Structure 1
Amino acid sequence: MHNPQVDYNIAGSVLKRAQLDPGKRAIIFESTQRSYAELSERVCKLAQNLRDHGVCVGDRVAYVGLNHPAFLETMLAAQSLGAIFVPLNFRLTGEELTFIINDAGVNTLVADDALAAVIDPVRADLCCTRYIGSESAEGDWESLEALISASEPLTSFIQTQQDDVAIIMYTSGTTGRPKGAMLTHGNLMWNNIQAAFALPALASDVSLVCAPLFHVGGLNVTTMSCLQAGGCLLLHRSFDPAATLSDVAQHKVTTMFAAPAMLLFMAQQPEFADTELSSLRMIVVGAAPVPKSLLAVFNERHIPLNQGYGLTETSPLVSFLMSEYTEAKLGSAGKPGLFGEIRVADASGDSVAAGEVGEILYRGPNVMKGYWNRPEATAEAIDEKGWFHTGDAGYLDEDGFLFISDRVKDMVISGGENVYPAEVESVLFEHPAIAEVAIIGLPDDKWGEAVTAVAALNPEASLTLDELRDFADGKLARYKLPLRLHLVEALPRNPAGKVLKFKLREELA
């Protein structure tokens, strides 16, 4: 195995791990297993091929497709050249992908077979100069396997600086056009250093990756830190609750990242109660508040849920709730990492008292450099003192633990009172008829906004508004009780598991 002089960024640390532990398993994917030596060899060959085809420092290399080793190989190869990796949301339409690809100025695009079919009709509108198929190569797509096989490994690496951009990760675009968050090599490394003090990855870990890798939670909560530590990634193309339970038992999985919706779907599987899950030492949960009833289900199985709070723009970790505080601080998102600061501010930017709800602000070395080509949006998001304005509402209790109330924009103002949907959802979720529920505000002549419950029910269940209000009465202030109830087959979610409330508001307004 060749031993190139690597740089100390994410790519360099994974390649260094391959020098230290060449024979260890790095990735299990379907019927394929690869050692760290094999992963390093493939990354270095791909990097050399990209360089031979003109990819230079700062050029953008994108990947679109379901989870696959090629995603990680493409990212690590690009970063080895000082190029910028652009992960793309595989659920977007060709038109939506066209905007992002051209906004980022992507030079080389790698796609899996299914997504190549989405890209082909819009290729005439794209700025890309090269198209590579991650599995097969149809039409004039090049084959990733063929070009790796034909290449020599890269031997000279670009020395990056902490402030150089490593990834442009586009926000989910729940309002307006998506914006590209520029995450630097320093952002990603500092994120994982902070995590190492709170949620450390171990060389013995088997980390199941079933959340989408294009999402910051799927990529940089357990995935990259596991590879840096010398653990093994068990990579699933996508999330399937039954397959997840089965593989946790079969491969003795120790860690995973999940959104609450994923945990809910796992717990609803008939085999959940009898599946051997004792190997799990840590599930990191993010993307939305965890309902108390769901925490209780996993506590009964003695599975530690380490709740984290973060955003694309913070690489992503802002705060952690260690599992020993799960009961004492039920519902909290915890405290910031060792090198981060949190404060809660009013509309004027002044810090508010303990227990008072305001906007959550964060400052730390994992805050993005800014939004790609969006200086005004960057100035709006990061103030002159370096505080990132999250757009989330919450409060700090008297012990400094953070509680997320909701997105500032999702807050419902009914009769002049602020209603935070997550609080209402947590109560309604306990109703035996409800499988999943979201609270939104809809225009109302009397109240300004009506607290509206949108629910999907369990099979054979029925529910009326009066029954729902009676259930929640006494658990919630009267002004927080739903005034309307809409029943749906399922709630619309983005790939990170977040409910798309703007879609509900549009459909029901």
Structure 2
Amino acid sequence: MTASSSSPDGDSAGMLALGMADWLCRRAARGPQRPALTSGGQTWSYGELVARAGRMAAVLAAGGVRPGQRVGYLGLNDPLFLVTQFACGWLGAIFVPLNFRLTGPELAFILNDAGVHTLFADDGYTDVIDEVRGRLECRRYLARAAAPGWEGLDALLADAGGGNAHGNAHHNAAPPLAATRPDDVAAIMYTSGTTGNPKGAMLTHGNFWINNLNVTMMSDIASTDVGLNFAPLFHVGGMCCITLPILMAGGHLVLQRSFDPAAVMRDIATHRVTLSFAVPAMLLFISQHPDFARADLSSVRGISVGGAPMPEPLLRLFSARGIPVNQGYGLTETAAATTFLAPERGADKLGSCGTPAMLTEVCIRAFNGAPVATARERGEICVRGGNVMKGYWNRPDATAGAFYPGGWFRTGDVGYTDEEGFYYICDRLKDMVITGGENVYPAEVESVLYDHPAIAEVAVIGAPDAQWGEHVVAVVALKPGASLTLEALQAFAEPRLARYKLPRELRTVAALPRNPTGKVLKIRLREQGGQGG
């Protein structure tokens, strides 16, 4: 097992290697027999995880992957996702995780934009690639088993390692670790592209290293922790909020293929899970499961929450179960970790996303770019630090527009600080509703409406209004058997909201449209109507 790519005679002399494969090998060397990863009823040790990553690196290298070239991965959560990611780090290649819910044309754009050299598609996802194969520029296609146009990865891995099905390959089958610098790109992660084509955020080896440290320090992660991840790994929430930090700390990762509330509660009890990550929608669905009240969740010492504002009623519900909620805020472009709100401050800082992570700077800037020094004055949240992306792949124009001088990344989120320096997110700049010249921040209205006993889910958007420019629309999914009128909703919210913030239109839907990470697709709500109320 190679522990480091640093060489006393090379360019990286005197510099500790921070590459993805470097730290995994170093961690494994400390305890190769320790459990690293459990998935699908099978557990791999750290030694086995490194061996598999080395075999994958050998397969990729044999197919022509060299430092800087891109390798795509399309599929649900699986140990092979991480094996491929670490193998890319091993070779100095760039990992490109793909959203498995995208259509063929959407995937084709990303694959060609990134210039992916080798693409792996898991079972069930080769057909969507075959539909657009003629327009792709990929040079090599890998699937689990060989098929027309696809090489069989399982057989290639077996040949590369000469080991058995449990991953006990010879370490010398792997190529040497490539020398990587902290600012070398480790992954290109594409933003959701709610308007126009998605952009690829270039995250470096150093970005992941700093994020891991931020999360480890703010969540007090130790090698004795058992982390559960059920969020999609192609998203920074699933990849960076528990998965990679747990592995760097030497803990035990339990990986679920996809999100299922019953499976989450079952695995928490079975594996005595101590830490996990979720978006609020996932916690909502868990809390609504009939087994929630009697589930054994006693081992959980913290759930990190991000990706969307945490509704206050949901926070109170989990706190009542004795489950500490560590709220946070981050973006794809910041490798996730930006601010954290510790559970012990959750009660007196309701609605806050906390204070900056240990290795990250955060500030508020006015909408003209000027720094804001006054508490509770709203502006754009900006971030600077080693976790902030290098830029957007092949988009120098977008990169330039995303930063203020001095390296401050513009998040596009509206926020403010209180007198103690705790940050609050009001909303996305593009989601803000302006009615009669007044700014309405949907998250504020949603938090109030979530308390209504008839509402299961709610999203607030703006709609054109001849008199006021826009008016507030509440799109709700009702609880089974419940009914609701606009007048009743207004009467409920009026004591807690200024009149201009009250919904002027009520639409009911069966369920809110969400992306794979649980975020409500407000652009779709704006495009579609609903049953008026």
* Native 8 Å contact 2:97 2:189 kept in 1: yes
**181, 187, 190: which is aligned to 2:207?**
187
Aligned to 1:393: 414
Amino acid at match of 2:298: S
CA distance in structure 2 between the partners assigned to 1:351 and 1:398 by the alignment: 16
Aligned to 2:148: 139
Give CA deviations for 1:38-85 in whole Å, capped at 9, x if unaligned: 111111011012112211010000101100011000110011100000
CA distance in structure 1 between the partners assigned to 2:151 and 2:41 by the alignment: 23
CA distance in structure 1 between the partners assigned to 2:305 and 2:147 by the alignment: 38
Aligned to 2:140: 130
Q: What SS class does the counterpart of residue 440 from structure 1 fall into? A: strand
Amino acid at match of 2:453: P
Amino acid at match of 1:465: L
Indicate yes or no: 2:213 matched with 1:204. Answer: no
Q: Which moved more, 1:432-441 or 1:145-154?
A: 145-154
CA distance in structure 1 between the partners assigned to 2:204 and 2:275 by the alignment: 26
**427, 437, 443: which is aligned to 1:406?**
427
* Native 8 Å contact 1:260 1:286 kept in 2: yes
CA distance in structure 1 between the partners assigned to 2:463 and 2:505 by the alignment: 9
Indicate yes or no: 2:302 matched with 1:293. Answer: no
CA distance in structure 2 between the partners assigned to 1:228 and 1:299 by the alignment: 29
Amino acid at match of 1:469: Q
**5 Å matches for 1:287-436?**
287-352=307-372, 353-436=374-457
Amino acid at match of 1:209: N
* Native 8 Å contact 2:216 2:249 kept in 1: no
Q: What SS class does the counterpart of residue 27 from structure 2 fall into? A: helix
User: Is there any run of 5+ residues in structure 2 with no aligned partner, and where?
Assistant: 6-16, 162-172
Alpha-carbon distance, 1:12 to partner: 1.4
Aligned to 1:84: 94
**182, 193, 209: which is aligned to 1:162?**
182
CA distance in structure 1 between the partners assigned to 2:382 and 2:56 by the alignment: 40
Aligned to 2:167: none
CA distance in structure 2 between the partners assigned to 1:252 and 1:430 by the alignment: 32
* Native 8 Å contact 1:339 1:364 kept in 2: yes
Indicate yes or no: 2:256 matched with 1:236. Answer: yes
Give CA deviations for 1:155-194 in whole Å, capped at 9, x if unaligned: 4111100110000000011111100000011111011112
**38, 62, 73: which is aligned to 1:63?**
73
Number of equivalences: 507
Alpha-carbon distance, 1:351 to partner: 2.2
* Native 8 Å contact 1:94 1:119 kept in 2: yes
CA distance in structure 2 between the partners assigned to 1:401 and 1:489 by the alignment: 36
Aligned to 1:499: 520
CA distance in structure 2 between the partners assigned to 1:324 and 1:466 by the alignment: 38
CA distance in structure 1 between the partners assigned to 2:59 and 2:519 by the alignment: 38
Amino acid at match of 2:314: L
TM-score (structure 2 length as normaliser): 0.93
Aligned to 2:164: none
CA distance in structure 2 between the partners assigned to 1:5 and 1:377 by the alignment: 35
Indicate yes or no: 2:461 matched with 1:452. Answer: no
CA distance in structure 2 between the partners assigned to 1:317 and 1:398 by the alignment: 23
Amino acid at match of 1:358: G
Q: What SS class does the counterpart of residue 394 from structure 1 fall into? A: strand
* Native 8 Å contact 2:141 2:151 kept in 1: yes
Alpha-carbon distance, 1:15 to partner: 1.9
* Native 8 Å contact 1:5 1:156 kept in 2: no
* Native 8 Å contact 1:10 1:224 kept in 2: no
Alpha-carbon distance, 1:3 to partner: 4.1
CA distance in structure 2 between the partners assigned to 1:141 and 1:228 by the alignment: 33
CA distance in structure 2 between the partners assigned to 1:474 and 1:204 by the alignment: 48
CA distance in structure 2 between the partners assigned to 1:21 and 1:140 by the alignment: 40
Amino acid at match of 1:270: P
Indicate yes or no: 2:154 matched with 1:149. Answer: no
Identity over aligned pairs, percent: 55
